[in-house]
Structure 1
C-alpha cells in the first residue's frame, strides 16, 4: 500500500515537488496511505487540477510490471538523497543498485567541451576511479559523457541520471553509452518510460546528481549553465565543490572561475580532491 501510494504520488501531474513532499510527510507522520483527489490537492496547497484519480490500480500495476524502481521508503534508497529539500519519491532504474552504496563523486561541465576538458578528465579519472569513487553524471554531451566513458575505460563504475524515461536516449549520441551503463553500471530517472525531454526536467535531474554525490567536480562551465546549478545545489546540500580552472580567453570556464572566487576548491591534480576527503574523514 505504501509503495503504491508513493508510486502514484510521484506519477501525478499537477502537483509540484514541494507539494508532493508535503503530502508524503503528512502521510508518513500519520502512517496513512489512502487519499482522494481533493485531499491530495488540499495537502499540496494548490488550486491546480491534478490527475491523481486517473492513476487506477490497473495503470499502477502496469507501471510496476514494466519498470524497476525503488521508493524513498525502501532500504536501498540512497541515504544522502533523503536529505535534499525535495527528494524524488521514486527512482526508476536499470543496472546495478549496489553502486548506490559506494562513495560517489559527480562530474559535470560543458556540453560543448573543448580538447582541454577532455584531456583534464583523461588526466584525473584514472586516479579517481582507482580510489574507488563511482562517477555520477547526467549522460549529456561533452564533459558528462567523457566522465562516464573514462570511468568505464579505467575499470571504474559510473551512474547516469537522466531527465527522460529510461527507454529514451537523449541526446541520441549518448545512446550506446546509456545502453552499456544500464547493463553493467546504473542509470536512474524519476520519470517513467515514455517521458520525453522537457526543459524543466534537467534542473530537477541536477538535484539528484548533487544529492547522491559526496562532492561535485566542475570542468569547463560558463556563467549561466546547468553545471553551475548542480554546483550551487551541492553547496546548499553541504557538499564539497571542486573546480578545474580553465582558459580566461574564451569564456567557457568563466563559471568555474566564479565558483573558485566564491570559495570552491581549485583542482590542479587529484590530490587536491583526496586531501579534502582525508581532512573531512579526520574531522568526522
Structure 2
C-alpha cells in the first residue's frame, strides 16, 4: 500500500495499463481516499480483512481461477478453515427446498460441516436459517459491501451471522452491489467448499454457474432431484443427467467428501 502511494503517476499508469483519460480519473479517486480514516471506520464496525499474501488466506481459495485479492469479514474467521459445503439454489425456492434441506443439513451439521451460501432470497436464506436452527455454523458470502446489505430484508439474518458465524465479501464495505458482482461472488462460495449442493434451479440459473465453477475448481457437485413437471427441478435434474451426484440425505454427501 505504501509503495503505491510513493509511486509516480507514470509508474502507476504503466502498472495498471490505463489510458490518459482513465489514469486521470484513477488519480483523482486514488488520492482522495483517506486510508487511515477508512481503516479506523472498519475497526469501529468490527470489519477486518485478509489479503491474498497473508498466511491465513484460505488455501482452498488459492486453487480457483481469479482468487479474490482481499477478503473482508465480520464474525468468526475460524470458520474459513473448517470443512464446508456450499448450498445454492433458486431465489423462488419453495417448500420442497425446505424439505430437502431438512433431510440434508442435520447429518452435515452433526459432522461439523460449515454451510456456505450467498444470503440471497430463497434457497440461500433457507440454508442459513436452517443451519442456525439445527445448531450448525454458516458463512454468508455477499455480492457487495457490508454497508449496503442486499437483500435488505435479510439484515436481521446477517446480524445473527455476524454474531455467531461469518459474513464475507471481496468488496470494500462502502461498495454497493452490482448485478455482475453476484456471478463473481459464486466463485468464492464454491471455492471455499469441498462440494456444492444445488437444491432447486431452473434450466438457466446462477446456481448452475456456481456448479460449473465448482467443477472447474475440482470440487464435487451434488443435486437434489425434483418432479419432472416443475420448472425449478429442470436445472437440478439436468445436472444429474450430466453426472452430478443425486442426493437424498446428508450421508450421500459425506460419502463423497471422505468424512465419516
In 2, the alpha carbon distance for the partners of 1:36 and 1:139 equals 41
| Helix, strand or coil at the partner of 1:99 | helix
Deviation at 1:40, TM superposition (A): 4.4
Deviation at 1:39, TM superposition (A): 3.8
| Helix, strand or coil at the partner of 1:49 | helix
Of the candidates 195, 200, 203, which is equivalent to residue 220 of structure 1? 200
1:25 matched residue in structure 2 = none
In 1, the alpha carbon distance for the partners of 2:236 and 2:117 equals 17
2:70 matched residue in structure 1 = 90
- Report Cα offsets for 1:139-177 as digits up to 9, x if no partner: 001110111111111111000000111122211221110
Deviation at 1:45, TM superposition (A): 4.7
TM-score by length of 2: 0.89
1:64 matched residue in structure 2 = 39
In 1, the alpha carbon distance for the partners of 2:215 and 2:88 equals 14
2:155 matched residue in structure 1 = 175
In 1, the alpha carbon distance for the partners of 2:6 and 2:199 equals 46
In 1, the alpha carbon distance for the partners of 2:40 and 2:59 equals 26
2:136 matched residue in structure 1 = 156
In 2, the alpha carbon distance for the partners of 1:233 and 1:40 equals 32
CA shift in 2, pair 1:257/1:168, >3 Å: same
Question: For 1:122-141, what aligned pairs fall within 5 Å after superposition?
Answer: 122-141=102-121
1:230 matched residue in structure 2 = 210
CA shift in 2, pair 1:37/1:78, >3 Å: farther
Of the candidates 19, 22, 34, which is equivalent to residue 49 of structure 1? 22
1:245 matched residue in structure 2 = 225
CA shift in 2, pair 1:268/1:41, >3 Å: farther
- Report Cα offsets for 1:37-56 as digits up to 9, x if no partner: 54444444564825543324
Gaps of 5+ in 1: 9-32
TM-score by length of 1: 0.82
Q: RCO (CA 8 Å, sep 6+): is it higher in 1 or 2? A: 2
Gaps of 5+ in 2: 43-47
User: 2:249 aligned with 1:269, yes or no?
Assistant: yes
Check the 8 A contact 2:49/2:71 in 1, yes or no.
yes
| Helix, strand or coil at the partner of 1:92 | strand
In 1, the alpha carbon distance for the partners of 2:115 and 2:165 equals 10
In 2, the alpha carbon distance for the partners of 1:79 and 1:162 equals 20
1:24 matched residue in structure 2 = none
Check the 8 A contact 1:37/1:52 in 2, yes or no.
no
1:205 matched residue in structure 2 = 185
Question: For 1:182-193, what aligned pairs fall within 5 Å after superposition?
Answer: 182-193=162-173
Deviation at 1:138, TM superposition (A): 0.2
In 2, the alpha carbon distance for the partners of 1:73 and 1:201 equals 23
